[in-house]
Structures are given as C-alpha cells and as structure tokens.
Structure 1
Amino acid sequence: MKKFVTLFTDSYRELKSVRTITTSAMFGAVAIVLGMFSINMGSYIRVSFSSIPNGMVSYLFGPVVGGLFSGSMDILKYLLKPAGAFFPGLTLVTVLSGIMYGCMYYRKPVTLRRVLVSKFLVMLVCNVILNTMCLSVLYGKGFMVLLPARVFKNLVMWPIDSMIFYTMAKALDTMGVFKAIRRTRTVGTK
C-alpha cells in the first residue's frame, strides 16, 4: 500500500518541475494533432490514436500528472474540434484512464506484456464499461444496445494501440529521450 501511495506523492511532486510542464505541453501538441485525425463512426464510436501521448506522459510523470494531462487534453481537443455533446462524465473517465496508465507505467520498465495488460484494463474499465454508461446517459440509448459495437471496436484496437505504444516507447527509450528527460529533471531539482 505504501508503494501505491508513493506513486501518487512522487507524481504530485513532478508537477513542480518546469521540465514536466514543458514536456507535457509538447506531448499535448502531439495529442491535439492526433486528435484532429480521429475517425468518427456515428455518435458512439471514434477511432483515434491520441491516447498514445497520454500514455507517454503517464509513463514519464505518473498518475497525478497523467490524470491531469488526460483530462485537460480531453477538454482542449473538444474545444478545438467538437464532436457531439460535451459530457463531464466522459472527461472524468479520461482522467481515470490517465491515472490507471500512470499506476501501471510510472517507474516501471516498458514490456509488451505490461502494455497489453494495461491497455486491456483501461479499454475494459474506461472505454467499454464507463464510456458506454456515459454515452447511454448522454444519448438516451440502452447500455446493451451500445455495448456490442464498442466491445468490437476496442477488441480490434487493443492490439493495434498496444503495439503502437510499445514500439513508440521502446524507440524513444532506445534514442535516449526518456533518459534525457529524467536526467534533466533530476539535475533541475538538486
């Protein structure tokens, strides 16, 4: 339990770093661009790769920063490209997904298994269950009516999102980007 609490306190301390804010802003720009290229399949299904920067920020800075980043990006992307009605419940689910990614990635090695498990859990809890509940409330459709299409979409996207995130994270790690961000963060705090 102490390790779990430490994840949040350490992630909260990350907010005090200018490096955290600027790195998050750069990933935010990438998330906004990726969000502009989302594919809407009706009112209930959207295919987008803008969750990749959310995972990267959660990996680098933890659950607190990841949750704040995910929620703020959700609102900002909606303001720039509104698609459907705004519903605060969907933003809270996005915050929860950032927190979940932060708990599963922060200060842990990126492995394909970890990425597959974390993507599956976030897709199941946030995308399939909670988002479908929010859409059911928002549009007045039955939960079970929306569920099959959303389950199918997430099952198709799960390996694709996982492989893209894993490949990008490994490439950035191999190039030394993550090490450079961490090194300058620790140098700046001394």
Structure 2
Amino acid sequence: MNRSALSAKGITYAGLFIALSIVLTRTMSFMITVAGIQGVRIGFGGIPIILSGIVLGPGLGALVGAASDVIGYMLFPNGPFFPGFTLTAALSGALPAIFLGLIDRNKSYQFTKIIIAVAISDIITSLFLDTTWLVIMYHRAISVLLPARITARMIMIPVNSYLIYSLVRYIPGLKTR
C-alpha cells in the first residue's frame, strides 16, 4: 500500500469504490442459473474493485474487494455466506494491479496491457476460484458449470477492460498512483 492510498483522498476513493461495487453488484446485475444454482453473475460490480487496485495500490484494492463482498452480503444477502468469495473479491482488487504493474511499469495504461492484466486476474479469480467455491458449496460437476462461466468471461473481460481503460485514461483524478 502506498502513502497516497492512506491519505484522506485515498480513503475517500476506497469508500466510493466500495459503495459503487455494492450498488453495481447487488442491485444492477443479474444471475444466470446453471444446473439449478446461481452459477454466473453478469454485471459491472468488479470494475470499482479493479479500479481501486489500479488507483490505490493492490493492498487497498484487496481491502476494497473484501469490504465490498462482506458489506454487500450484510446489506443484500443472497444465498449462504461463503468466505471463499470474499477471498476472490480481495484478489480481484489486488491481482490486476499487480499484473498491470509488472507489464506496464511506466503507467501508460494501454488497452492491450489492461486487458492482459484483467484477463489473467479474471481467469484466476472467476474461472478458477469462484467455480471451485460453487463446486464445493453446491456439489455440482465443474464440467457443468464451466462452459457457461467461460462464455460469460469471454464477453465480460473485453467489456470490463475497455471500461477500465476508458476510466483510467480519461478521468484525470483517477491517476493518483
């Protein structure tokens, strides 16, 4: 976590990202049922979490992700609470920032670099971890869940990446790191 992340501005951004994520995830997304369970969520609630990591650093990005999941669940419970999803949300805030830092040291925020960082992170978090949590919770075969989840990620990774690219490139206040 860098110093600017712990400033009043950084903490304010973190609170804003948490609130945006909760609203976008819990009220402005929809679930697709796969094998009798809510197996795929389509929405934009991950964008504020990813942005928090890019703007505030991976440590605060992880905190924003975890807080968004826990507070969002407390306000809008939907199914049982499972801490694995909180871990995934935390990693969703940290991993894109870490990968983007590794491939874009001069912070040029090129679209290709953002999509690579978001895609690698999303494959780890959404396809691998979240699918694993659903298999553990609901005892469904991974072969049943994975095709729908892969299809959703193939659509959402480029869309989310473009929105993140646009926000980071064209909103000057977001370049705080």
Q: Note if contact 2:50-2:94 (Cα within 8 Å) is conserved in structure 1.
A: no
User: C-alpha distance in 1, partners of 2:87/2:50?
Assistant: 16
- Report how many residues are paired: 168
The corresponding residue for 1:63 is 58
User: C-alpha distance in 2, partners of 1:54/1:71?
Assistant: 9
- Amino acid paired to 1:94: A
User: C-alpha distance in 2, partners of 1:16/1:168?
Assistant: 22
The corresponding residue for 2:99 is 104
User: C-alpha distance in 1, partners of 2:14/2:99?
Assistant: 18
The corresponding residue for 1:20 is 10
Query: Radius of gyration: which is bigger?
Result: 1
Q: Note if contact 1:24-1:69 (Cα within 8 Å) is conserved in structure 2.
A: yes
The correspondence for 1:178, drawn from 168, 174, 177, is 174
User: C-alpha distance in 2, partners of 1:132/1:178?
Assistant: 32
- Structure with more of its chain in helix, by fraction: 1
The corresponding residue for 2:116 is 117
Q: 1:41 Cα deviation (Å)?
A: 1.1
User: C-alpha distance in 2, partners of 1:178/1:96?
Assistant: 20
User: C-alpha distance in 2, partners of 1:14/1:137?
Assistant: 39
User: C-alpha distance in 1, partners of 2:146/2:97?
Assistant: 27
The corresponding residue for 2:28 is 37
Moved more, 13-22 or 80-89: 13-22
Q: 1:14 Cα deviation (Å)?
A: 4.6
The corresponding residue for 1:149 is 148
Q: Once the two structures are aligned, what percentage of the paired residues are identical?
A: 30
The corresponding residue for 1:187 is none
Q: Note if contact 1:104-1:114 (Cα within 8 Å) is conserved in structure 2.
A: no
Q: Which sections of structure 1, spanning at least 5 residues, go unmatched?
A: 1-10, 183-190
Q: CA RMSD in A?
A: 1.8
TM-score (norm 2): 0.86
User: C-alpha distance in 2, partners of 1:127/1:134?
Assistant: 10
User: C-alpha distance in 2, partners of 1:124/1:24?
Assistant: 24
TM-score (norm 1): 0.81
- Amino acid paired to 2:155: V
Q: 1:15 Cα deviation (Å)?
A: 5.2
Deviations 1:83-105 (A, max 9, x none): 22211011111111211022134
Q: Which sections of structure 2, spanning at least 5 residues, go unmatched?
A: none
Structure 1 residue 80 and structure 2 residue 75: aligned? yes
Deviations 1:65-99 (A, max 9, x none): 01111111011111222222211011111111211
